[in-house]
Amino acid sequence: MFKKRLFTALLAVLMVASAMQAANPKREFRSAWLATVANIDWPKQKGISETVIAQQKSSLNAILDRMVELNMTTVCFQVRSMSDALYESSYEPWADQMTGVRGQHPGWDPLKYAVEECHKRGLEIYAWVNPFRWASSGDLNRWTTPFDEEIKSKGWLLSNGSYIVMNPALPAVRAHIVNVCKEIITKYSVEGMIFDDYFYPSGGMAENSTAADYNLWKNSGTSMTIGDWRRQNVNDAIKEIYDMIQDVRPEVRFGLAPPGTAGASASKYGLTMCPAGYDGQYKSLYADPLYWMANHIVDYMSPQVYWHNDHRLAKFGPLAKWWYELAAHFKNVHCSMSVNIYDLVTSMGSQADLGNTEAHYKEHVTNIKQSREYAAALGLKAFGSNFYSIQYLCSPYKAHGDYLAQNCFQTKALVPVVDWKKAKSYNAVTGLVYTDGKLSWDPVTDGMSTIRYSVYAIPTTVSQKAAMNSDGDGFDAKYLQGVSYLPTFSISSNLQSGYWYAVCVYDGYGNEHAAATTDFDYNGPEPGAMANFMIIMAQYR
């Protein structure tokens, strides 16, 4: 009888532990879009004076500090919004967001600075690129840099109404974009690159002889319809960029964030169309996300599912579930939802504008938990949320960010593992010592490969065996203190006594390697079923 009761109690405790682990996953993509176009999120000041530069840097630092405070993993930093650059580009002019003048050097390199500051804080940074967008019609005569005049003279531009893009059909345009992306990932230590939803000009391009690219299609020799031809041009561009990344830095995660409704091509793959029942992007943007997933020319998708669960047609839950089902079907592609949090000030679809209230906070928590639930049900180990945009996690929306952290992001997290690519193995770090609240160890270097370290603090009442994650993924998330890109880490004052510490090499693919641990005097019970049971009980009281 005692054994039966003990087994029942142990099972109950393990179920509680499992539930808590699901509520605080160790692996989760937690990111926010940092929009620079039109100075949406940053910078709020323009100019080249020392005062303005100091303000720009200070406000960026505050945003990044906030991401650490909220236990985020990643920042998607917009570095190319209008065929321009927020970095030292060999190909395109400086963006006007920094100075107010397109082509004017801002006096510093924002991307270089952002990479350094993200890494100081243990954050990943993805370069957010708009691949084809050039300008609106109002900028046609305003964009007059040598680069802009050159691409006008080359006939690289394609217009539809007020929307102008660099023409995806032109091999020279695609080669240019590949070169732009190659420079970013080789010159800057970004962990990823993300495109959003600007492909062909929106608004319904004609598919007859009035279309600006009609003659180009007719003269291409293709047997495809003009619509399929346009989609193939986009597909070719994405594949060319993906192939370049695999040749140069395969650990860089490449993905896209298309509109959240898709699936016009679903029948080709034996799948159903999305629950919303329509796919505007297939026809108007000439984008086919299912093709990218099926042909494995992306590492991840972050569809913009920007509607609430009470939306009449495009409900968040069913759409998110559908996207995760796509990831499970195609395999070797990660998926995380881009989530609308600008609804704190803007109404969406049929929803009332509730404003910055707890009703919206709860909806966003539901969105996060739905992603976790759907991914877990499908056996997926990769999921997450990418919030648009970052300002709605910061002041004056601090209460919103705090609510998400308190209800969803109570512990730190690592990003999901890209387990279909071949990664190197690394030994445990050497020379690990703890002195006066600070861990240090010998650095690991490996050319251009991303090397960072995951750091854990574990009570001396917990053995190494008991500290491990039940799913076999290293140490439990509740002991994770953060990520360091340097061979040092400062331990919080409340964790400097009664703890032992572990450090793992954490590579660019998301793999953790063998742990190095500090010496410690284990004060807990002897290992064994009963001992581990008591340890678990103590941890989850």
Domains of the chain: 26-407 (3.20.20.80), 421-539 (2.60.40.10)
Give the pLDDT of residue 265: 97
Sequential DSSP letters for 143-197: --SHHHHHHHHHT-EEEETTEEEE-TT-HHHHHHHHHHHHHHHHHS--SEEEE-S
CA distance linking residue 61 with residue 55, whole number of Å: 10
Mean pLDDT of 148-152: 96
pLDDT exceeds 80 at position 535: no
Q: Tell me what the pLDDT averaged over the chain comes to.
A: 91
pLDDT tens track for 470-499: 889 999 999 999 999 999 999 999 999 999
Mean pLDDT of 257-274: 96
User: Would you place residue 525 in the very low, low, confident or very high pLDDT band (cuts 50, 70, 90)?
Assistant: low
Give the pLDDT of residue 498: 95
74-80 and 124-129 beta bridge pairing: parallel
Give the pLDDT of residue 522: 64
Q: Are the CB atoms for 115 and 252 separated by under 8 Å?
A: no
CA distance linking residue 530 with residue 537, whole number of Å: 11
CA distance linking residue 77 with residue 128, whole number of Å: 5
Predicted TM-score (pTM) of this structure: 0.92
CA distance linking residue 483 with residue 456, whole number of Å: 9
User: Would you place residue 115 in the very low, low, confident or very high pLDDT band (cuts 50, 70, 90)?
Assistant: very high
CA distance linking residue 350 with residue 27, whole number of Å: 34
Maximum distance among all alpha carbons in the chain? 87
Give the pLDDT of residue 22: 56
Q: Are the CB atoms for 130 and 241 separated by under 8 Å?
A: no
Helices 171-187 and 226-248: angle between axes, nearest 10 degrees:
30
CA distance linking residue 423 with residue 513, whole number of Å: 11
Give the pLDDT of residue 140: 81
Give the pLDDT of residue 8: 42
Give the pLDDT of residue 296: 98
Higher local confidence (pLDDT), 313 or 2: 313
pLDDT tens track for 174-233: 999 999 999 999 999 999 999 999 999 988 899 999 999 999 999 999 999 999 999 999
Give the pLDDT of residue 18: 39
Mean pLDDT of 263-275: 96
Give the pLDDT of residue 162: 86
Q: Are the CB atoms for 72 and 31 separated by under 8 Å?
A: yes
497, two tokens: 């006594």
Mean pLDDT of 513-533: 68
Backbone angles phi, psi at 244, to 5 degrees: -60, -45
Q: Are the CB atoms for 35 and 41 separated by under 8 Å?
A: yes
What share of the chain in percent tops pLDDT 90? 85
User: Would you place residue 138 in the very low, low, confident or very high pLDDT band (cuts 50, 70, 90)?
Assistant: confident
What b/e readout covers 110-147, taking b as 16+ CB neighbours within 10 angstroms?
Answer: bbebbbebbbebbbbbbbbbbbbbbbeeebbeebebeb
